[in-house]
Amino acid sequence: MNRPLTWLTFSAPSRFYALANAVNPWLWALAIGLAVWGLYVGFFVAPTDATQGEAYRIIFIHVPAAWMSMILYLAMAFWAGVGWMLNARMASTLARAIAPTGAMFTFIALWTGAFWGKPTWGTWWVWDARLTSELILLFLYLGYIALVTAIDDLVRGDKAGALLALVGAVNVPIIYFSVRWWNTLHQGATISLTAAPKMAQTMLFAMLLMTFAFWAYAFAVVFTRAQALALARDGDAAWVQALRKEKQ
């Protein structure tokens, strides 16, 4: 059967599963390659920061993790919303699969932020607008996960999760603009589309390499988890049975 490839093609769990299998090895190769390159540039090429010394090297994971935490939230809310509106269960499954990875990157952003704040600000934590809104993001992820796993009826769980995810999306622009709207201890945006970068080229380059590495990583892990959720959901479908036979 050779059906034309449309935007709905991969909404079928069986096709999604096959697609994820095909792209995942490439994503892993990309994630590892970019991370090795990024860490090399970050530690051996980028110079010491004039004011922060070597402590600034935390930026190569802190900023990419913080970006991922926000982007993944928007992706989760988007797919949850698509799943709700179009009754597309693979979209809802994808939203569920994104949540733990988003929560992990949020935790990494907070953790590395604390380890950067201590030597530069003199404190691990401060209730500043940027830090507080990022902490709320972590609670939104955890709330979403708790909500969708607590509801046994999968479709109802998807809908309740979508509502929470979409309402919580308001927090993302608050995080992003917090450093402009309020007087925060946290510094302003690291890079902006409208101004020249305020950091050395090599520092910026290492940070972007790590960002792309985190992107590839996030896609790969989310795809694997979405495969697991699709299998659990579609247990008695013909494609799962075929896969089961193949693995035995």
Binders of other proteins among residues 187 to 226 (CB under 8 A) are 217, 220-221, 224-225
Question: How far apart are CB 182 and other proteins at their closest, in Å?
Answer: 25
> CA 149, 151, 157 angle in degrees (round to 5)?
85
Structure-token pair, residue 17: 């599963």
Nearest Cα to 75, choosing from 94, 59, 52? Answer: 94
The vertex-137 CA angle with 203 and 213, nearest 5°, equals: 35
Pattern 80-119, binding to other proteins, x per CB under 8 A? --------------------xx--x--xx--xx--xx-xx
Nearest distance in Å: CB 246, other proteins? 10
123 binds other proteins (CB under 8 A): no
Q: Which residue, 67 or 116, has its beta carbon nearer to other proteins? A: 116
Nearest residue (CB) to other proteins, 3 versus 245? 245
Among candidate residues 200, 13, 35, the one with its CA nearest the CA of residue 89: 13
Among 30, 41, 65, 169, binds other proteins (CB under 8 A): 65
Q: What is the DSSP letter of 122?
A: S
Q: In the complex, which residues of this chain contact other proteins (CB under 8 A)? A: 43-44, 46-48, 53-55, 57-58, 61-62, 65, 100-101, 104, 107-108, 111-112, 115-116, 118-119, 217, 220-221, 224-225, 227-229, 231-232, 235-236, 240-241, 243-245, 247
